[in-house]
Amino acid sequence: MRLLSRHRVWQAAVDAGLVVGAWYLAFWLRFDAGIPAPYGRLFEQSIYIVAPIKLAIFVLFGFYSHWWRYVSIRDMWALVRGVTVATIVAEFVVYLADPVAGFRVPRSVLVLDWLVLLGLVAGARLLARTIIERPGPRSLVARGKEALVVGAGDAGQLIIKEMLRNASFGYTPIGAVDDDPRKKNLRLHGIRVIGSTHELPQLIADAKPDEVIIAIPSAPGETRQRIVTACRDAGVPVKTLPSVYELISGDEHLARRLREVQVEDVLGREAVQLDLDTIATYVAGQTVLVTGAGGSIGSELCRQLALARPERIVLVEHAENALVAIERELLHERGFPAVVSVLADAKNRAKLRQVFEHYRPAVVFHAAAYKHVPLMEGNPVESIRNNVGSTQALAEVAAEFDTGTFVLVSTDKAVNPQNVLGQTKLLCEWIVHNAARRPGNRTRYIAVRFGNVLASSGSVIPLFRRQIARGGPVTVTHAEMTRYFMTIPEAAQLIVQAGAIGESGDVFVLDMGEPVRIIDLAHDMIRLSGKEPGRDVPVEIIGVRPGEKLHEELWAEGEDAVATANPKIFRCKAQEVDPAWLDDELAGLMRLVDEGDTLEAVGKLGTIVRASRRVAVEEPRTVL
């Protein structure tokens, strides 16, 4: 790398004039009545020694490695060091050399030269920045907050470029941070990479930025958490670019997409790479039907599926506003025109038959379900009617019309269930598994099981946000309660990919990482809001609610998890339940639901779940 670019030659030329001017002014200030003739000759001869030495040292100190209009406080301190070293070296050579023109340079001239040169060099740079950063629409560089950009990859370079190019963003980058040691001291559009994220506390202390920008869309949660902690400890605000998936269809101007760091950013794992080639084998060019299309998971499934360019997506949703919202998003924001909106209840067999007969979907994603645990405990009959009834109806209609692939969205609460929601979802898994085993079946039936989804409807995240916004208290049910978490895009991507690799009857479990204590989640969210838990926002333990487990599980005893081609998806052995017995039990359960007999229906539901293993072992399996 050249120390002096041809584009910076003019800077060196200006500094050469400043060196000469400072040397002359030092003599002029020393002699009040004018420079005596002998010292005039000393100045003329010594300048040929002083100027080359000082310019060479300026080059070595990196004075010409970036534009003056981007000079920062950090650069000013570098100027002090460079000018000091250059002055000492040059004047040491002049002072110790044989007397020039018969005289030695007065020591007071040496001090004056250092002060004058420092003022001229620093002043020239500040003047250049002041003139170029003049206010108004024609300003050539960004103004406003001085930002430290974490990430020197493609996203980091783009955001630095936008900050420098467009003053309306209100940022001036003063440095970049990256963990790749090969990038240390490289310059991105004139902005130097000054260290790694592990050095961030010291870098913040040195640079004193107004704000830190995380420009690593694929950064794992652990890295983001370390950055956020360093910024919080230093009292410096931090913002982030969205995740890789959020950027796919976003505004080309990255700086406009900066947002506050959210708990999803620090809890999320490494970004999931959507295998579009694999997905395209069963989705591209096909009609895909999604139930619960307006819900948190259903709408995200639609966004992911649109990337694989199916022939059409049939949106089945019983909530009018949610259906309109996802339809408009796919049509107008994501440019996917092949959308069919069906306002329908997924447990209405007659309506389902009409939809299947008209559109003949090749792939079905069944995401429609009631999922709020406390609400389901208080309304068990409707939970059974909706969750079990819709799965039963949809699975049978899909088989009737020879649908190619049927994917059930299940939950970890189906493992050793202790609440109505978990029990109904376990029955849904059995329904799908037994549908796969029926003679003559030509549909691949697959179930995908995962834990809590961050910021989905019913998630604790929106609740905590509302509680923090009003000053608390933030309510946690138990200090030791843990849950598995993943982001909505990650969950949806893995559901779609599981449909590509699954065989009929498979139950897949998504890699949820390590469980997170809910109280730690609450503390993180409070701190991300700029407050301290306990001091600014109280945290209150309110006790475990009916049906809640202290710790969720991803697979039951006897369900061996087997790795698949995707490291984040595991196949587990589904529990074998006698089909004839299950059909009889479900018929009895749904009769009680139709009669509205809550106590009997809840009792029947629990009896089916408890009796399932005994029936599966002791009774011979009958295939209808």
DSSP-assigned states of every residue in 147-165: EEEE--SHHHHHHHHHHHH
* Cα–Cα distance measured from residue 518 to residue 330, given in angstroms and rounded to the nearest whole number: 34
- For residue 137, the model assigns a pLDDT of 39
Would you call 476 helix, strand, or coil by DSSP? strand
Do residues 175 and 66 lie in contact, with contact meaning Cβ atoms separated by under 8 Å? no
- For residue 321, the model assigns a pLDDT of 94
Q: Quick check: is 216 in a domain?
A: yes
- Do residues 157 and 99 share a domain? no
- For residue 293, the model assigns a pLDDT of 94
- Domain end, chosen from 202, 236, 261, is at 261
Q: What tokens were used for 486?
A: 């993943």
Per-position DSSP letters for 489-544, written without gaps between them: HHHHHHHHHHHHH--TT-EEEE---S-EEHHHHHHHHHHHTT--BTTTB-EEE--P
Q: Which residue, among 379, 260, 254, 390, has the nearest Cα to 318 in the 3D structure? A: 390
- For residue 8, the model assigns a pLDDT of 64
208-222, 244-258, 495-509, 567-581: least confident range: 244-258
Q: Quick check: is 75 in a domain?
A: yes
Q: What tokens were used for 39?
A: 């010292």
- For residue 250, the model assigns a pLDDT of 45
- Do residues 395 and 312 share a domain? yes
Give me the domain span that covers residue 64. 6-132
Q: Quick check: is 468 in a domain?
A: no
pLDDT digits (tens, 9 = 90+) for 540-597: 998 887 777 788 777 777 677 788 887 788 888 767 788 889 999 999 999 999 998 8
Question: Domains in the chain: how many in total?
Answer: 4
Q: Quick check: is 474 in a domain?
A: no
Is a pLDDT exceeding 90 seen at residue 351? yes
Is a pLDDT exceeding 50 seen at residue 618? no
- For residue 429, the model assigns a pLDDT of 92
- For residue 409, the model assigns a pLDDT of 93
Is a pLDDT exceeding 90 seen at residue 244? no
Is a pLDDT exceeding 90 seen at residue 365? yes
pLDDT (mean) for 173-195:
84
Q: What tokens were used for 300?
A: 């995200």
pLDDT (mean) for 606-610:
87
Is a pLDDT exceeding 90 seen at residue 431? yes
- Do residues 73 and 191 share a domain? no
Do residues 103 and 30 lie in contact, with contact meaning Cβ atoms separated by under 8 Å? no
Q: Is the peptide bond before 242 cis (omega within 30 degrees of 0)?
A: no
Is a pLDDT exceeding 90 seen at residue 358? yes
Report the percent of the chain where pLDDT is more than 90: 24
- For residue 369, the model assigns a pLDDT of 92
- For residue 620, the model assigns a pLDDT of 42
- For residue 251, the model assigns a pLDDT of 43
* Cα–Cα distance measured from residue 8 to residue 512, given in angstroms and rounded to the nearest whole number: 53
- Do residues 159 and 247 share a domain? yes
- Do residues 243 and 221 share a domain? yes
Q: Quick check: is 431 in a domain?
A: yes
- For residue 319, the model assigns a pLDDT of 92
- For residue 139, the model assigns a pLDDT of 43
Burial class for 105, CB neighbours closer than 10 Å (0-12, 13-18, 19+): buried
Q: What is the mean pLDDT of the chain?
A: 80
Max Cα separation, the chain?
119
- Do residues 152 and 237 share a domain? yes
Choice between 380 and 50, residue whose per-residue pLDDT is larger? 380
- Do residues 361 and 441 share a domain? yes
Q: Quick check: is 467 in a domain?
A: no
CATH number of the domain that residue 228 is part of: 3.40.50.720
- For residue 37, the model assigns a pLDDT of 67
Report the percent of the chain where pLDDT is more than 70: 81
* Cα–Cα distance measured from residue 176 to residue 214, given in angstroms and rounded to the nearest whole number: 10
- Domain end, chosen from 237, 261, 285, is at 261
- Do residues 559 and 594 share a domain? no
Is a pLDDT exceeding 60 seen at residue 27? yes
Q: How far apart are the first and last CA of the chain?
A: 77
Q: Quick check: is 536 in a domain?
A: no
pLDDT digits (tens, 9 = 90+) for 468-514: 888 889 999 888 888 877 778 878 888 888 888 888 888 888 777 77
- Do residues 256 and 313 share a domain? no
Q: Quick check: is 86 in a domain?
A: yes
Q: What tokens were used for 201?
A: 């506390």
- Do residues 229 and 253 share a domain? yes
- Do residues 429 and 354 share a domain? yes
All residues at 6 or more sequence positions from 39 whose CB lies less than 8 Å from its CB, including other chains? 27, 31, 103
- Do residues 424 and 290 share a domain? yes
pLDDT digits (tens, 9 = 90+) for 82-138: 888 888 887 777 766 655 445 567 777 778 888 888 888 887 777 776 665 544 434
90-99, 158-167, 282-291: least confident range: 90-99
- Domain end, chosen from 202, 232, 261, is at 261
Q: Which residue has the tokens 């995740």?
A: 243
